[in-house]
Chain A
Amino acid sequence: MHRPSRRTFLGLGGSALALAFTTNLADPWTARAAVKGDNPFRLGVASGDPLSDRVILWTRLATDPLEPLGGLPFGKIKVEWEIAEDETFTRRARHGSTLAHPEYGHSVHVDAKGLEPGREYFYRFRAGGEISPVGRTKTAPATGGGPESMRLAFASCAAWQDGYYTAYRHLAEEEPDVVFHLGDYLYEFGILPMGGNRKTPVPEQFRVQCDTLDRFRIQYGLYKSDPDLQAAHHRAPWIVTWDDHEVLDNWAGPHGPGGEVTEEDFLVIRANAFRAFWENMPIRVPAPEGPDARIYRRFTFGDLAEFNVLDTRQYRDDQLCGDGQQIGCDERLDPGRQMLGAEQEKWLLDGLGASRARWNVLAQQIAMMQLDFAPGPEQQLSMDLWDGYKAAKDRLLHGMIDREVSNPVVLTGDIHCNMAGDLKANFDDPSSRTVGVELVCTSISSGGNGNPNQGIPPGGADPLNPHLRFSSYQRGYVSCEVTRDRWRSDFKVVPYVDRPGAPITTRASLVTLDGAPGVNVL
């Protein structure tokens, strides 16, 4: 096997490294003197996909995150882990060791099992004599009755070059039970030498767009070096899905942007992108070995809430009529058009039909409520959103009516704008039945500072889209408190992202009551 790296890990070969920590594992770890420049935990730690008895613990070793192999040799590296009930690791629950493989970017995905339900834990790793930062995580509640409440946050769209991740920092400080990330965690675009809005120089290697695995790896290395993003991972377990920019702008199934990327080229890019995503996320799915990877999955939080995490990109038909916003593209009504694909759609509807949860949540990417973008008698709709797949949307909404699904809540990202609205049985008839609610989080940073004067006040209504009851074009995330009686959503915003340190405020607090679908002002 060839060894591409110019550096060696702590100046030792792989086998020497393995021998370097044969200390007694029963002892609490003590940090050794740090060797400057050789900390392999520069990408932080993360946890994710919590179940009632287990959680994924993640890290990716890199002494130099802006190198494709993280500055490490092409060899296996032993990594120890432990998870405890307290932050000082005196009450250790589980521990073990595993190997970080270079073929997987030296990433580690430990499924820490045998944990207590609904409980806070702390975890850390050790490799090469270095100890990682400590992460806080929490298991899902027991599968039986309860819990009485939970707190969650959701976020999306964090273009590094568009601004600072201050919103992630504020999200971390809330220490929610779980964070849902709805995609565009990373953007595939090349980054200019001065780092865009961050005005932070980046090396030449970032100038070209991500398409090969080596290039995606350094993009993740740059993103995950951010201290605010690391803080958000360190303080709560995440449940992630992807949208388009983890791969390529507005990809759809086997299709890249029209006319520029062949299907053959695109599937290679997709395989590289999926692999890099897996390497960098605390996710419980098999490592992608090619251009197909199932990431749609379900999480049950007692009988309070069930979360269906969707993939609205991999199985969809191509966008119609040249994509973008269109007037009168009737092909969008074609009943054969798929958004989720037949298999995922069946899995979703079957799951919704079988659910015993009070709140039934779809954690997904793109706006489901109808959005007419232009005044005038004719509707101007986006071909990339659920509007471009009208029959698939109707099958889902009416499928929920038919199954009498309890309190549907759709969580959405993608659009760089906070929104809340009612999901209607017929969006063109305001008097039609409200099926559930949709809560759309704005971007963390994408689009730059935003504009506080743009949007609809809480409880207002948009004349073109009367089911839309709130919007705001600012950066931030959404924080939710879910009880048996109501779902409260606080839309948190920051005034700027082009420099660090912005304060956080609540732009709107909205509630949905159990059994009464619709968005209300608190």
Chain B
Amino acid sequence: MRTLIAALAFAAVATLTTAAAWAPDPEPPSSVSVKVKPGSSTGTGKLTPVAGAERLVAPLGVDPACPAKIDIGMRSDAKKARFATMNVEIDAPLTASRTMLTSYLPPGHEVRAKLLVAVPPGTEQGEYGLRLRTPAETLTVPVEVTTVDELDNGGNLALRRPVTASSQHASANYPPCSVVDGDRSSNGWAGGNGWNDATGRAWPDTVAIALGGAKQVSRVDLYTLDTERYPADTYGLRDWDVQAQVGGQWQTVAQVRGNTAGDARSDFAPVTADAVRIVALASNGANDYTRIIEVEVR
């Protein structure tokens, strides 16, 4: 049971004031992670583990609401469709969000799903092992535990830095730290891949990223919610200010107005800032909430 509007963490059901019998309960959008890739089978029956990346970098000291993630899966070379199981093991003290992956698997197909990897505080830096085991094969994926300072951020000064937001909606998984998790994709955003504030139709909303020291910045890219089902021109952010914290004071360095796209780039004269924040002023369509997928700072 759902309507499009209600699915987007809309405000609570209003008291009956009109003749309408009822108003639908809000339900969060879906955040499915299963991906299927068809293929052909030679009928050996072999089950092969697969991973979405050759290695996983898991930063230390980040908000546990935004763990490292990797796609894991298995490919069937069986004659017939079946339910297949793969074991998932990880070296302590790291923990993984599954101990096994079990799924229906047509012959020749590959199925993948998301695995979250948590790094407890106090974990030593270094390389750990994630092992994906089927009866036929074990695939070991190295997991590199490193500090945020040593992370290869590709020039994005915001990546994995501490985030504070004015509020967080509780109907699904909308952690503020997700705006710096390195994932620009809107898919599965209610499953921990985006931030949704808790104050419907109340502005402004703010989300601030500490840069871990004074850094020279001159560009901010903002990715707002934008999928086929929830397009940016209806559900995305419309107006916002980009502010930089210089010498303890927030300064507005750029403004975006009337945005209808899934991403917007702001360039400005270089400043040396300790932090960057987005001051959200309005969203499109229902104009209800701030929905940000990612913020990159250069």
Contact = CB atoms under 8 A, between A and B. Distances in A.
Interface centre among B2, B18, B102, by most chain A C-beta atoms within 10 angstroms, is B102
Given A4-B85, A190-B173, A261 B32 contact: yes
Contacts of A205: 97-98
A212 B113 contact: yes
Given A4-B99, A416-B25, A453-B15, A265 B36 contact: yes
Contact of B32 (A214, A243, A248, A384): A248
A249 interface: yes
Interface stretch (B3-11, B54-62, B258-266): B3-11
Interface string A230-270: 00000000000001100011100000111111101100110
Contact of A261 (B30, B95, B103, B109): B30
Interface string B92-123: 00010111111111100101011010100000
B1 interface: yes
Given A184-B1, A190-B172, A265-B32, A291 B98 contact: no
B228 A208 contact: no
A462 B7 contact: no
A213 B5 contact: no
Contact of B13 (A324, A375, A451, A465): A451
A510 interface: no
Interface string B210-239: 000000000000000001110000000000
Contacts of A463: 19
Nearest to A450: B13
Contacts of B75: none
Contact of B21 (A184, A214, A471): A471
Contacts of A451: 13, 15-16
A207 B32 contact: no
B206 interface: no
Contact of B4 (A271, A324, A447): A324
B52 interface: no
B178 to A, nearest CB: 12
Interface string A421-446: 00000000000000000000001001
Contacts of A213: 83, 102-104
A462 B21 CA distance: 7
B270 interface: no
Interface string B11-50: 0010110111110110111111111101000000000000
A290 interface: yes
Contacts of A455: 16, 21-22
B151 interface: no
A214 B34 contact: no
Contacts of A268: 34, 36, 103-106, 109, 111
Contacts of A375: 18-20
B20 A260 contact: no
A291 B116 contact: no
Interface residues of A, number: 80
B192 interface: yes
B81 interface: yes
Contact of A462 (B4, B19, B228): B19
A209 interface: yes
A94 B229 CA distance: 54
Nearest to A414: B1
A464 B5 contact: no
A323 B3 contact: yes
Contacts of A243: 1
B191 interface: yes
Given A264-B38, A265-B36, A416 B1 contact: yes
A4 B87 contact: yes
Contacts of A454: 13, 15-16, 22
A433 B41 CA distance: 58
B28 A189 contact: yes
B133 interface: yes
Contacts of A345: none
A257 B16 contact: no
A139 B176 CA distance: 54
B202 interface: no
B34 to A, nearest CB: 4
A208 to B, nearest CB: 6
A38 interface: no
Interface of B: 1-5, 7, 13, 15-16, 18-22, 24-25, 27-36, 38, 67, 81, 83, 85, 87, 95, 97-106, 109, 111, 113-114, 116, 118, 133-135, 170, 172-173, 187-188, 191-192, 227-229
Given A215-B98, A261-B34, A415-B24, 14 more contacts: A6-B99, A184-B1, A192-B170, A207-B116, A209-B33, A214-B103, A249-B2, A268-B106, A269-B34, A325-B3, A374-B20, A415-B22, A453-B16, A471-B22
Interface of A: 1-2, 4, 6, 67-69, 103, 157, 184, 188-190, 192, 196, 204-205, 207-209, 211-215, 217, 243-244, 248-250, 256-262, 264-265, 268-269, 271-272, 275, 289-291, 322-325, 371-375, 382, 384, 414-417, 419, 443, 446-448, 451, 453-456, 462-465, 468, 471, 473
The 10 closest A-B pairs by CB, nearest first: A259-B228, A271-B104, A447-B25, A324-B3, A213-B102, A454-B16, A324-B4, A214-B102, A211-B34, A417-B22
